Every structure is written in C-alpha cells, then in structure tokens.
Amino acid sequence: MTHDHAMRSQNPRAVARRLDSDDVLFAVPDDRLAIVHLTYNKETTPDWPHFVFIDDWDDLAD
C-alpha cells in the first residue's frame, strides 16, 4: 500500500476474510466497514489495493 492510499490514514482493523477470494473486511474508526481486495504485491499507485466503503453491517448483506 502506498503512502497516499486512502486506507492508510483510516487505521483499519481486519474483522473477517473470504475464503474463496483475496477480500478482507476491515472496520475503520468512523464506524464504517471497508472491503479490501488484497494483492500481495508491493503496490506503486494509490489505486491498489482496491477497496469500497460500506456504511454498516446491514449494508454488507445487500
């Protein structure tokens, strides 16, 4: 993750992961969740790893 990646400043905490993909669910301090697609590479652009914010646990099921 590059120093200017948007998740870097969020202080994320991993709370779950998918077993069938490289997606990890993170909780961030503002009570949102973030689904992050891990790449296991040394990234050089702030576009990766790709992520989306989810407002709450209820939105995760949608």
pLDDT in tens, 10-58: 888 999 998 998 999 999 888 899 999 888 878 887 778 888 999 888 8
pLDDT of residue 62: 61
User: Is 53 among the domain residues?
Assistant: yes
**What's the number of domains the chain is made of?**
1
User: Is 3 among the domain residues?
Assistant: no
pLDDT of residue 29: 87
Whole-structure pTM over 0.85, yes or no?
no
pLDDT of residue 7: 78
User: Is 2 among the domain residues?
Assistant: no
Contact 36, 51 (CB under 8 A): yes
The single-letter DSSP state of residue 49 is S
Contacts of 42 (CB under 8 A, 6+ apart): none
User: Is 1 among the domain residues?
Assistant: no
pLDDT of residue 56: 84
Per the structure, the complete domain to which residue 32 belongs is given by: 8-60
Checking if the pLDDT of 9 tops 70, the result is yes
User: Is 31 among the domain residues?
Assistant: yes
User: Is 42 among the domain residues?
Assistant: yes
